[in-house]
């Protein structure tokens, strides 16, 4: 966990490969560096305000005496149905989790459907049922919605946007900019399950040990962590771009470096097998039911205790440490004792994963 071990093998300030294009590319939707560039070049300058500039996955607003978290995500996953869930489950859990990552109690969702002419109503019924079950499980109400239909060939079956509203308890201040040197990084469980399930389904792989998406609401796990009274500085659910990208976002926004210990990051065997088969690094693969927390070192035992007492935090581990680093690098201590820089996802490793 210390940051002064073997020397780093990659030049520490290698610039991100600049993509020169006048068109949207699939990589702009990866959740990685290209998405960040797009946001930085096209959206932040147009809408500049202190809420958006924080680059968190939600805004925390003071409205009429209430402290509210507000977030949105569109879901374009392909295929719509996959082991462990479907686009409806994701659309509820994903937005619930973006609220939870501000320490908020999720309360209300909106839903906007964009449907393609010809989409089977039986599938729509199945998706609505999944959303209903997920909303009930997460204790949120879907209170307002909208439906649009576009002509055949102008969408891909069904896209769903959900926006979410929740209340942030007094005193809770969690943001990707809150990490400080000495803090420890906690991961709630095994990684890469959602992304590899989507990829395996898309590739129609016949797996000996079936794998399933980890899609799940995380707000109760967060509540349990807050209830320990431990100092939580950052929370992030490593979705598009995976653990690597989430760690880089925290490093960049907090102005720190992070050293991760590969041996402590769990990838279940069948998931690792699919990663190897498809040549993908699990650190970059999307999760939909895991969280990363940056915790004050003196509180980490308490927080871990609170997590491990629950089924969804049973495998929680300390996976890294926050260090001073003006280069804001994320470095991985590998199993074999080497060290490599873990950069933000650059391209479009896994398009349409959520």
Binders of a second copy among residues 59 to 78 (CB under 8 A) are: 59, 61, 63-68, 70-76, 78
Nearer to a second copy, 166 or 273 (CB): 166
Contact between 145 and a second copy (CB under 8 A)? yes
Nearer to a second copy, 112 or 181 (CB): 112
Q: Figure out which of the listed residues 5, 6, 40, 129 binds a second copy, where binding follows CB under 8 A.
A: 129
The pair of structure tokens assigned to 101 is 């990552």
Q: Figure out which of the listed residues 1, 124, 137, 172 binds a second copy, where binding follows CB under 8 A.
A: 124
Nearest-angstrom CA–CA distance, 298 and 129: 44
Nearest-angstrom CA–CA distance, 92 and 115: 18
Query: Site size for a second copy, by CB under 8 A?
Result: 82
Nearer to a second copy, 151 or 204 (CB): 151
- Least gap, CB of 337 to a second copy (angstroms): 39
DSSP 174-210: --TT---TT-EEEE-S--SHHHHHHHHHHTT---SS-
Contact between 23 and a second copy (CB under 8 A)? yes
CB 186 within 8 A of CB 304: yes
Span from 119-127, 200-208, 295-303, 306-314 in contact with a second copy (CB under 8 A): 119-127
Contact between 284 and a second copy (CB under 8 A)? no
Q: Figure out which of the listed residues 9, 40, 42, 209 binds a second copy, where binding follows CB under 8 A.
A: 42
Nearest-angstrom CA–CA distance, 320 and 257: 10
Contact between 149 and a second copy (CB under 8 A)? yes
Q: 339: which strand partners?
A: 333
- Least gap, CB of 188 to a second copy (angstroms): 23
Provide the CB-side half-sphere exposure for 131 (13 A, CA).
Answer: 26
Contact between 296 and a second copy (CB under 8 A)? no
- Least gap, CB of 58 to a second copy (angstroms): 6
CB 61 within 8 A of CB 67: yes
Task: Tally Cβ neighbours within 10 Å of residue 269.
Answer: 9
Nearer to a second copy, 61 or 263 (CB): 61
The pair of structure tokens assigned to 254 is 């907090």
Span from 120-128, 179-187, 190-198, 247-255 in contact with a second copy (CB under 8 A): 120-128
Host H or E run for residue 243: helix 242-254
Closest CA to 237 of 254, 262, 216: 216
Contact between 137 and a second copy (CB under 8 A)? no
- Least gap, CB of 235 to a second copy (angstroms): 16
Span from 48-56, 173-181, 206-214, 267-275 in contact with a second copy (CB under 8 A): 48-56
Does residue 138 have a cis peptide bond before it, meaning omega lies within 30 degrees of 0? no
Nearer to a second copy, 6 or 143 (CB): 143
CB 191 within 8 A of CB 285: yes
Nearer to a second copy, 315 or 348 (CB): 348
CB 285 within 8 A of CB 350: yes
Nearest-angstrom CA–CA distance, 179 and 253: 9
Span from 30-38, 210-218, 252-260, 324-332 in contact with a second copy (CB under 8 A): 30-38
Contact between 19 and a second copy (CB under 8 A)? no
- Chain positions 155 to 184 lying near a second copy, rule: CB under 8 A, are 155-156, 159, 161, 163, 165, 167
- What is residue 269's DSSP assignment? H
Q: How far is CA 173 from CA 63, 147, 234, in A?
A: 16, 35, 9
Contact between 347 and a second copy (CB under 8 A)? no
Cα-trace Rg, the chain: 20
Span from 32-40, 206-214, 227-235, 286-294 in contact with a second copy (CB under 8 A): 32-40
Contact between 46 and a second copy (CB under 8 A)? yes
């Amino acid at each position: 966990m210390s940051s002064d071990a073997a020397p780093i093998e990659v030049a520490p300030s290698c610039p991100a490969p600049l993509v020169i294009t006048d068109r949207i590319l699939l990589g702009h939707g990866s959740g990685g560096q290209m998405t960040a560039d797009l946001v930085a070049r096209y959206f932040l300058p147009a809408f500049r305000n202190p809420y958006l500039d924080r680059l968190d996955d939600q805004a925390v607003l003071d409205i009429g005496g209430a402290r509210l978290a507000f977030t949105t995500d569109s879901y374009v996953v392909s295929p719509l149905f996959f082991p462990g869930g479907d686009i409806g489950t994701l659309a509820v859990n994903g937005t619930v989790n973006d609220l939870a990552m501000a320490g908020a109690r999720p309360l209300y969702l909106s839903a906007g459907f964009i449907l393609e002419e010809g989409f089977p109503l039986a599938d729509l019924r199945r998706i609505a049922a999944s959303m209903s079950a997920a909303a009930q499980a997460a204790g949120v109400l879907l209170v307002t919605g909208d439906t649009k239909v576009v002509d055949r060939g102008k969408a891909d079956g069904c896209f769903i946007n959900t926006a979410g509203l929740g209340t942030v308890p007094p005193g809770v201040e969690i943001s990707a900019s809150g990490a400080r040197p000495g803090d420890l990084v906690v991961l709630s469980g095994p990684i890469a399950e959602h992304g590899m399930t989507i990829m395996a389904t898309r590739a129609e792989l016949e797996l000996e040990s079936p794998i399933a998406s980890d899609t799940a609401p995380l707000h109760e796990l967060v509540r349990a962590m807050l209830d320990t009274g431990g100092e939580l500085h950052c929370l992030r659910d490593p979705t598009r771009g995976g653990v690597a990208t989430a760690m880089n976002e925290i490093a960049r926004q907090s102005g720190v470096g992070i050293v991760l210990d590969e041996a402590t990051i769990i990838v279940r065997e069948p998931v690792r097998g699919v990663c190897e088969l498809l040549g993908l690094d699990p650190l970059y693969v999307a999760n939909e039911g895991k969280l990363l927390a940056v915790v004050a070192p003196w509180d980490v035992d308490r927080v871990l205790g609170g997590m491990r007492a629950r089924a969804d935090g049973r495998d929680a581990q300390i996976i890294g440490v926050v260090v001073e680093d003006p280069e804001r690098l994320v470095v991985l201590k590998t199993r074999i004792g080497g060290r490599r820089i873990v950069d933000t996802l650059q391209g479009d490793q896994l398009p349409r994963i959520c």
